[in-house]
Amino acid sequence: MKNSRKPDREEANNDGAQSIRRALDILDLLAAAGLDGMRLTEISRTTSLTPSTAHRILNVLVARDVVEQNQITRRYAVGEQIPMLALARPKRSTLLQAAEPYLRQAAENLGDTIYLTVRVGLDALCIARVFGSFPIQVVTIQIGARRPLGVSAAGVAMLASLPEREAHDIIERNKMRFERYNVQAEHVSRTVQAARKKGYFLRQKGLVQGTRALSVSVPSTAQTPLAALTIGAIDRRLTYQREPEVVEFLTSMTKRIRKTLQQRGQRSPTDGTR
């Protein structure tokens, strides 16, 4: 492949774990695809791996039940091994523990649905949802929903809070995946620019007609990843006049979450005895 012309690494280069990294890339992709899964060609295209390489990697993962292949459709999806491995960890992450009371508080106070979303690699993953008291709630996004950063309101808010370079890089790397969600990389870039200036992101048209979403990012800490707090509501409840109030409130919640995390401090969830 490489004509031995100098070390020639593109960007910061590797250790010696190409195949493992590739396997994890595939797993991340599949996680975003959820139960539907993806076909080989699709995986191969999005990861820029040759079909044979992707196939070989998938084979091991399937053999270990880390990935599951539907025998009829040939589609690949995250396998049962993953939830089994997950049992080795306590259910609630540090972030979730710290954030939950504030999610409740926000939902109660604002009356609409509050989502907590975290960055996972190139994706935004919804890890919590709390309903408010207003009788009409936006319930489109499920816990576990995972989409490329830039697609969802939370994704845009998180990108906007990253260094411009990094955000750009992520958008670039997600480019191939955007079409699945009918989004243009170009458009995402512009949206992120705008959100960066304002410090939050308001999506006028949510996934479903007549809904809006407003998202504020929660900076990452030593213990927790970059995250975002999002409010989803029907459009007549997220009006121009109400915008400042909502932003103000959500922002104050992100600050408290951050403070709580700092207090709980250095101990990682696996700091046990021993």
Question: Which residues contribute to the site for a second copy (CB under 8 A)?
Answer: 15-17, 19-21, 23-24, 27-28, 30-37, 56-57, 59-61, 64, 66, 68, 70-73, 75, 77-91, 93, 118, 120-121, 125, 127, 143-144, 146, 268-274
Minimum distance of a second copy from residue 61's CB (angstroms): 7
Q: 30, 32, 33, 49: which one contacts DNA (CB under 7 A)?
A: 49
Among 24, 36, 41, 140, binds DNA (CB under 7 A): 41
Work out how close the CB of 7 gets to DNA at its nearest, in angstroms, rounded to a whole number: 10
Query: Following DSSP, what letter does each residue of 238-264 receive, concatenated?
Result: S-TTTHHHHHHHHHHHHHHHHHHHHHH
* Dihedral pair phi/psi, residue 253, rounded to 5°: -65, -40
For residue 89, with 0-12 CB atoms within 10 Å meaning exposed, 13-18 middle and 19 or more buried, which class applies?
exposed
Among 59, 133, 184, 193, which residue sits at the site for DNA (rule: CB under 7 A)?
Answer: 59
Coil, strand or helix: which one is 105? Answer: helix
The 8-class DSSP code of residue 80 comes to: T
Considering the rule CB under 7 A, would residue 18 count as an interface residue with DNA?
Answer: yes
Sheet (strand 113-120) strand order: 146-148, 123-130, 113-120, 227-234, 211-218, 201-203
Under the binding rule (CB under 7 A), the answer on residue 40 touching DNA is: yes
Q: Is the dihedral of CA 115, 232, 155, 50 positive or negative?
A: positive
**Contacts to DNA from residues 62-91, by CB under 7 A:** 69, 74-75
Which residues sit at the interface with DNA, rule CB under 7 A? 1-4, 14, 16-20, 22, 39-42, 44, 49-53, 55-57, 59, 69, 74-75
